Amino acid sequence: MKRLLKIKLLLLCVPAILVAQQPKNSGTAMQWWNEAKFGMFVHWGLYSVAAGDWKGKPSRGNEHFMLYERIPLKEYAAIADDFHPVKFDADAWAKAAKDAGMKYLVFTTKHHDGYAMYGSKVSDYNIVGTTRWARDPLKELAAACKKYNLKLGLYYSLGRDWEDPDVPTNWPEKGGRSNTWDYPDEDAKDFSKYFERKVKPQITELLTGYGPVAVMWFDTPEQIISKAQSADLEVLIRKLQPGCIINSRIGNGLGDYLVSEQQISAAKMSKPWEACITMSGKWSYNRHDNAWKSPELMVRQLVEIVSKGGNLLLNVSPDGEGALLDKTKERMNEIGKWMKVNHEAIYGTRPWLITNENSVAEDLGKAGEIALKSTMKDTDNDNTSKQINPDVYFTTKANTVYVFARSWKAADINVKSLAADRYKIKKVSLLGTSAKIKWKQTEKALHMDLPASLPATVPVYVFKIIL
């Protein structure tokens, strides 16, 4: 009888095990993401109020400065007394994303400092309960995303929480990213207590209180979280929001897509992937940050990522008052102008047979996936190229090949990959102009002349080649 009972209990567990082992949302949920290509990442929290300073001098670590400066929790929490973001405008954030051509928005609901940027009932350590502003920005942002038809994604720091006494870390060494000044006994910390007490209840809040959530974007799983815990969390998410996709930082090889932080894969990827990249040098607002990328560079990065099968999640950093910086808005406006002209070469496209005629890495297969696993830095970790040189990239859709002439200055262009001995071309046009394009196809290349009048955007021009 006991043996029969054990078998019945085991069978009851099988559905949950199967759900945890499924590779997840490969159907409709992933379809929108695969077509979207472009999203906005938002880093905003108590660290935005500090703005790169602590006790009258520049701090180390930016959004990680509580760790780098070893600030006691009581002192760090007091920043909330000055957190009064009267310029926060969820509608303006969402509209800026929409106008820039972005299709989804990922908001930091809890970063490594453990501070919830929404009205959490699980933890009093949140923006509603600790500030005189006392509003829930996530509720307003969810409504704004719905208004502008943007998918809502939620960032959640999984393996680091400097407010909680039960979060050990093991990178780059034991206790290397833990709060050891408030909670010095690393061996006494029990991740499972934190996981059950805070992580699962807060994920439940986020997935039941703010309408449809399209993406759960986890960060820093470390190696502390077990495979069973990652699977348990995945099952919870699928149960609460079946259409929600999950990034690979849920840990232990689970999740729907890979993450490349501050770097672009060296090659086309065989798996869905996303590059999260900063618009400036820092992830969060820092008054000392002057490493701003130009609109041209960011468009180049978008093209390269999409041509390799990825999405670009471009980070913005509102200030402590909740406002998008003028430098941010100016750049998003220029990107939006380019996207308005060339969006068909981005949305819903896939990599062509050739990524870039000048790339030696275009056929490396899984080499790019290996590159994404390289050692990650905490902050100031932008490893993307800042070079701006003329080159050619490709995407494709149906019987069309899009040829991106990035930062092109010459009056003509030769595309060897579209030579007459390979393809028969029906029509050639340049997106953004009605001017007739002079072209001819030889056994060596497709030769095209650029028209005298070019689209008034950043100089990344897109030829539409119908085969």
The candidate with the shortest Cα–Cα distance to 396, out of 297, 309, 273, is 309
d(CA 338, CA 432): 9
d(CA 387, CA 356): 15
Output the pLDDT for position 380: 85
Task: Please give the C-alpha separations between residue 284 and each of 7, 61, 150, 173, 391, in angstroms, as whole numbers.
Answer: 52, 10, 22, 25, 32
d(CA 467, CA 459): 25
Output the pLDDT for position 378: 82
Q: Note if the pTM is more than 0.85.
A: yes
Domain residue extents for the chain: 25-256, 350-466
Burial of 337 (0-12, 13-18, 19+ CB in 10 A): buried
CATH node for 25-256 = 3.20.20.80
Contact 126, 117 (CB under 8 A): yes
Residues pairing with 371 in the sheet: none
Output the pLDDT for position 311: 98
Contact 344, 70 (CB under 8 A): no
Domains 25-256 and 350-466 share a fold: no
Task: Please give the C-alpha separations between residue 240 and each of 29, 31, 104, in angstroms, as whole numbers.
Answer: 14, 20, 20
Amino acid at 18: L
Contact 130, 124 (CB under 8 A): yes
Query: Which CATH architecture fits 350-466?
Result: Sandwich (2.60)
Query: How would you list the strands of the sheet with 412-415, edge to edge?
Result: 412-415, 446-449, 439-441
Contact 407, 296 (CB under 8 A): yes
Instruction: Specify the pairing of strand 400-406 against strand 391-397.
Output: antiparallel
What counts of helices (H) and strands (E) characterise the chain?
14, 18
Instruction: Specify the pairing of strand 53-54 against strand 57-58.
Output: antiparallel
Task: Please give the C-alpha separations between residue 72 and each of 67, 75, 180, in angstroms, as whole numbers.
Answer: 9, 5, 10
Output the pLDDT for position 14: 31
d(CA 147, CA 82): 31
Helix (H) or strand (E) holding 461: strand 460-466
d(CA 239, CA 208): 11
Instruction: Specify the pairing of strand 38-42 against strand 104-110.
Output: parallel
d(CA 283, CA 88): 18
| Per-residue model confidence as pLDDT tens for the chain (467 residues) | 444 444 333 333 333 322 333 445 546 889 999 999 999 999 999 999 999 999 999 999 999 999 999 999 999 999 999 999 999 999 999 999 999 999 999 999 999 999 999 999 999 999 999 999 999 999 999 999 999 999 999 999 999 999 999 999 999 999 999 999 999 999 999 999 999 999 999 999 999 999 999 999 999 988 899 999 999 999 999 999 999 999 999 999 999 999 999 999 999 998 999 999 999 999 999 999 999 999 999 999 999 999 999 999 999 999 999 999 999 999 999 999 999 999 999 999 999 999 999 643 333 334 344 344 444 578 888 999 999 999 999 999 999 999 999 999 999 999 999 999 889 999 999 999 999 999 999 999 999 999 999 999 999 999 999 99
Q: Which residue has the tokens 């930062």?
A: 407
